[in-house]
């Protein structure tokens, strides 16, 4: 019997590999269940190695949440082509897909941010700011004017979108609206809200 040669990773490569595994675990379970012991077992390494890379459980969990938030921001980037509404629809579609695939982890991020956990709040706020600010950066059709009132409105729309997606995901499949209806409702809400701006 032959075994595949083991690949020796650089410290950065190993840390990245462990974070990728942590993010995969985070997608299917709340953050408090993503422990050093679980990760060490799944990765087939010692707990000591994890402490070497992350310092402690809180350091590991923060790194996992930051990686997941960065993935969310990257995956929901609007395409370069298309009208403002088409680009928004694509971005919202990617957001729904991300939440659908990472539901337990995303819920724990939202809950952590609301619980007073300063690290979770900071990561959550940074991710939300990245998602909402780029509406103004990529809005070549001037769907939303770049004013303080519009920025406040987009922040509220973002909270509305998150609540709608979480409620949709939490509804039994037989009782929920179609995914396309959800996307149309979220995407259509933003221009409708803009008409209420002074």
CA distance 51 to 183: 42
Average the pLDDT over 2-14 and give the result: 63
**pLDDT at res. 29:** 77
Domain of residue 144: give its range.
Answer: 76-194
- Do residues 137 and 161 share a domain? yes
- Backbone torsion region of residue 34, taken as left when φ is above 0, otherwise alpha when ψ lies between -120 and 50, otherwise beta: beta
**pLDDT at res. 3:** 41
Tell which residue, 78, 85, 76, has the closest CA to residue 141.
85
Domain CATH for 45: 1.10.10
Task: Return phi, psi of residue 10, to 5°.
Answer: -70, 160
Helical packing angle, 118-137 and 103-114, nearest 10°: 110
Q: Which two tokens stand for residue 117?
A: 């956990």
State pTM to two decimals: 0.83
Does 70 map to a domain?
no
* Interval 48-73: pLDDT, tens: 888 888 888 888 888 888 888 999 99
- Do residues 34 and 111 share a domain? no
Does 31 map to a domain?
yes
Alpha carbon distances (Å) from 20 to 62, 64, 71: 13, 8, 10
Residue 92 reports pLDDT greater than 60: yes
Residue 106 reports pLDDT greater than 90: no
- Do residues 109 and 147 share a domain? yes
Domain CATH for 168: 1.10.357
Helical packing angle, 11-28 and 47-54, nearest 10°: 100
- Do residues 179 and 115 share a domain? yes
- Do residues 38 and 93 share a domain? no
CA distance 32 to 190: 34
Per the structure, the count of domains in the chain is 2
- Do residues 82 and 177 share a domain? yes
| Percent of all residues in the chain with a pLDDT value above 70, rounded to a whole number | 94
Does 102 map to a domain?
yes
Residue 2 reports pLDDT greater than 50: no
**Which DSSP state fits 6?**
P
pLDDT class of 100 with cuts at 50, 70, 90: very high
* Interval 126-181: pLDDT, tens: 999 999 999 988 766 778 999 999 999 999 999 999 999 999 999 999 999 999 99
């Amino acid at each position: 019997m032959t075994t595949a040669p083991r690949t020796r990773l650089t410290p950065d490569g190993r840390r990245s590999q462990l974070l990728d595994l942590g993010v995969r675990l985070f997608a299917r379970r709340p953050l408090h269940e993503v422990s050093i012991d679980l990760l060490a077992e799944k990765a087939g390494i010692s707990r000591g190695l994890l402490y070497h890379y992350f310092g402690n459980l809180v350091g590991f969990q923060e790194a996992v949440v930051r990686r997941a938030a960065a993935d969310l921001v990257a995956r929901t980037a609007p395409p370069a082509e298309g009208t403002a509404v088409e680009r928004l629809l694509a971005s919202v579609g990617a957001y729904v897909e991300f939440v659908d695939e990472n539901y337990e982890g995303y819920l724990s991020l939202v809950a952590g941010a609301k619980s007073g956990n300063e690290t979770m709040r900071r990561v959550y706020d940074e991710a939300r700011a990245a998602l909402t600010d780029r509406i103004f950066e990529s809005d070549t059709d001037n769907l939303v004017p770049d004013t303080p009132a519009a920025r406040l409105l987009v922040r509220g729309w973002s909270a509305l979108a998150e609540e709608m997606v979480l409620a949709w995901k939490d509804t039994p499949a037989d009782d929920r609206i179609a995914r396309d209806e959800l996307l149309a409702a979220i995407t259509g809400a933003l221009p409708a809200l803009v008409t209420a701006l002074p």
